[in-house]
Structure 1
Amino acid sequence: MSDQPLEEAAGVRHFWQSLGLPGLVDVHTHFMPERVLAKVWGYFDSLGPLTGGVAWPIRYRKEEDERAALLRSFGVRAFTAMLYPHKPQMARWLNAWAVDFARRTPDCLHTATLFPEPDVRDYVREAVDAGARVFKAHVQVGAYDPGDPLLDEAWGLLADAGIPVVIHCGSGPAPGRWTGPEPVGRVLARHPRLRLVVAHLGMPEYEDFLGLAERYAEVRLDTTMAFTDFAERLAPFPKDALPRLAGLGERILLGSDFPNIPYPYVHQLDALARLGLGDAWLRAVCHDNGARLFGL
């Protein structure tokens, strides 16, 4: 390992050690089949429409083993393999890959995904039976209504199983037809026990998604990219909403978007610290809430 990764790892470890934590729990990291990840990176490189046309250099463009080793060097106790389909008949294949990845990567929380299609309930059940501990849904990339009737039984199954779903449903960095709080709010009205984890704090509709978390006891939000210099230029978090964020301290989870971030990993942590919400809030967000949710 070169000096730069060593220095980065030392900075991250200093952060959580200074809080008296045993490490970090990051609920929003991306591992997926290599050719799929290469296409994702290519999309960012091309400034595709869903990037909002913003330059987005991938900081950790490394081989799979190197990426996992880097997270471990940071002291990330548990991470995820956020993977998602952009078309029908893709999710089942991704889930099969995820079973193998979880088997060979025990510190990765076994992640699965879904898409509105006729067999979605069947393969969601298969993933649950195979030990999936978290699901990923990407309304923006998949361009689907989360309230599609095809998904209704799958949402109900996941609610009954108590398995969290990290869902990108905010309209950042670019809006889609089904992004925003209203479509996912309709899902929650039908499935109020569904453990949705709203990615990116719902950026840029932060306050609307805070409202959903205040209304539904099982809704959580992850911090992915929020409060970083990069995100604050695009969609600043309203400062008068910080007390609401503090009040939901037990349902805010650390997320990073590693490896697809244009800045060092530690910057996400520093961005949370500079909010001034206190060490107890940071300990909960960066470790304890995730550890409790996943029974670590």
Structure 2
Amino acid sequence: MTDGMKGDEGEDVRRFWRGLGLPGLVDVHTHFMPESVLKKVWAYFDGLGPLTGGVEWPITYRVEEDERVGMLREFGVRTFTAMLYPHKPGMAEWLNRWAVYFARRTPDCLHTATLFPEPGVAEYVRKALDDGARVFKAHVQVGAYDPADALLDPAWGVLAEAATPVVIHCGSGPSPGKYTGPEPVGRVLARHPRLRLVIAHMGMPEYEDFLGLAERFGEVRLDTTMAFTDFSEEFAPFPERALPRLSGLGDRILLGSDFPNIPYPYVHQLRALERLGLGEDWLRAVCHDNGARLFGL
């Protein structure tokens, strides 16, 4: 058992996917980034209580990088990501350089890159693709930028043409920003309808608005990150009336966890999906098949 694993947690996760007849899990929303940046992210979550109505956000997997990678492998996560993101100009290229080396030493991690609205963004996005990037991360809340900013427009075009998925945190949870919510993303998609956006956290808390974007644009997907869990249901409950729409989009919902930055065990995300009652075919698609198909695994 990996050092730091909680009890039989690894076996609990493996029992879940084996019970569905799957070869493992595909998790499109896990975080790996330079340690100096990750510590700042953890410090943010440590102080997040006032933004979530006083709900504390303890980091369950606050361990060293190698141990975190080992835990995902112990869980049976066949493929995961290194979601990383800048909060200021000039930072994205540095993060992308780090991501190249992380991908080389971690072959089961999809090579992840990021971007920011700044001069030259299209050029370094092309370079990241040339370097092997297979998925991008955009964080509208942390970056405090309009995703429809004209500076980003050529980069979105490059990514749409390359059919490279972009996991984008654009919902207003856990705290709203000036440019969060469905409207700015809708403007991006109106210009680039083939852009493969993966709406992080199911668009929490504007779930139904983002389901509407997925119903309108055939390349839009949503990831499950933290949605439906006991923690999130406390301050951003998913509306029961939207469950039929969630079922109808079963081929475009992807498993995401936010590992390691979650305040509960990894298996809880899986159990939260199971208790939605949408059936084993839906669970198999979400937990493995949709991600495997999207990334050609």
User: What is the TM-score when the length of structure 2 is the normalising length?
Assistant: 0.98
| Aligned residue number for residue 249 of structure 2 | 248
Q: What are the superposed Cα offsets for residues 161-181 of structure 1, whole Å, 9 maximum, x if unpaired?
A: 000000000001110000000
Query: How many Å separate the matches in 2 of 1:273 and 1:66?
Result: 27
Q: What are the superposed Cα offsets for residues 99-130 of structure 1, whole Å, 9 maximum, x if unpaired?
A: 00000000000000000000111110100110
Q: Secondary structure at the match of 2:136?
A: strand
| RMSD between aligned residues | 1.2
Structure 1 residues 36 and 26, CA, compared in 2 at 3 Å: closer, same or farther?
A: same
Structure 1 residues 124 and 49, CA, compared in 2 at 3 Å: closer, same or farther?
A: farther
How far is the alpha carbon of 1:45 from its aligned partner? 1.1
Structure 1 residues 85 and 48, CA, compared in 2 at 3 Å: closer, same or farther?
A: farther
| Aligned residue number for residue 271 of structure 1 | 272
Structure 1 residues 50 and 169, CA, compared in 2 at 3 Å: closer, same or farther?
A: farther
Structure 1 residues 4 and 124, CA, compared in 2 at 3 Å: closer, same or farther?
A: closer
| Aligned residue number for residue 25 of structure 1 | 26
Query: How many Å separate the matches in 1 of 2:157 and 2:53?
Result: 33
Query: How many Å separate the matches in 2 of 1:114 and 1:52?
Result: 31
- Retained in 2: the 8 A contact 1:57–1:261? yes
Structure 1 residues 132 and 2, CA, compared in 2 at 3 Å: closer, same or farther?
A: closer
| Aligned residue number for residue 75 of structure 1 | 76
| Aligned residue number for residue 138 of structure 1 | 139
| Aligned residue number for residue 39 of structure 1 | 40
| Aligned residue number for residue 286 of structure 1 | 287
- Retained in 2: the 8 A contact 1:224–1:255? yes
Residue type matched to 1:271 in 2?
Answer: A
Query: How many Å separate the matches in 1 of 2:97 and 2:174?
Result: 29
Structure 2: runs of 5+ lacking an equivalent: none
Query: How many Å separate the matches in 2 of 1:113 and 1:46?
Result: 25
Q: Secondary structure at the match of 1:214?
A: helix
Q: Secondary structure at the match of 2:99?
A: helix
- Retained in 1: the 8 A contact 2:49–2:56? no
User: What is the TM-score when the length of structure 1 is the normalising length?
Assistant: 0.98
How far is the alpha carbon of 1:82 from its aligned partner? 0.2
How far is the alpha carbon of 1:55 from its aligned partner? 1.2
Query: How many Å separate the matches in 2 of 1:79 and 1:49?
Result: 31
- Retained in 2: the 8 A contact 1:44–1:51? no
Query: How many Å separate the matches in 1 of 2:75 and 2:35?
Result: 23
| Aligned residue number for residue 203 of structure 1 | 204
Query: How many Å separate the matches in 2 of 1:2 and 1:130?
Result: 33
Structure 1 residues 84 and 4, CA, compared in 2 at 3 Å: closer, same or farther?
A: closer
- Retained in 2: the 8 A contact 1:23–1:77? yes
Q: Secondary structure at the match of 1:259?
A: coil
- Retained in 2: the 8 A contact 1:140–1:168? yes
Structure 1 residues 46 and 204, CA, compared in 2 at 3 Å: closer, same or farther?
A: same
How far is the alpha carbon of 1:44 from its aligned partner? 1.1
- Retained in 2: the 8 A contact 1:49–1:174? no
- Retained in 1: the 8 A contact 2:226–2:258? yes
- Retained in 2: the 8 A contact 1:170–1:203? yes
Query: How many Å separate the matches in 2 of 1:176 and 1:274?
Result: 31
Q: Secondary structure at the match of 2:251?
A: helix
- Retained in 1: the 8 A contact 2:3–2:67? no
Q: Secondary structure at the match of 2:80?
A: strand
| Aligned residue number for residue 128 of structure 2 | 127
- Retained in 2: the 8 A contact 1:140–1:179? yes
Structure 1: runs of 5+ lacking an equivalent: none
How far is the alpha carbon of 1:6 from its aligned partner? 5.3
Structure 1 residues 114 and 52, CA, compared in 2 at 3 Å: closer, same or farther?
A: farther
How far is the alpha carbon of 1:48 from its aligned partner? 7.4
How far is the alpha carbon of 1:5 from its aligned partner? 3.5
1:86-105 superposed matches below 5 A: 86-105=87-106
Query: How many Å separate the matches in 1 of 2:41 and 2:52?
Result: 11
Q: Secondary structure at the match of 1:250?
A: coil
Structure 1 residues 117 and 221, CA, compared in 2 at 3 Å: closer, same or farther?
A: same
Structure 1 residues 162 and 229, CA, compared in 2 at 3 Å: closer, same or farther?
A: same
| Aligned residue number for residue 55 of structure 1 | 56
- Retained in 1: the 8 A contact 2:27–2:257? yes
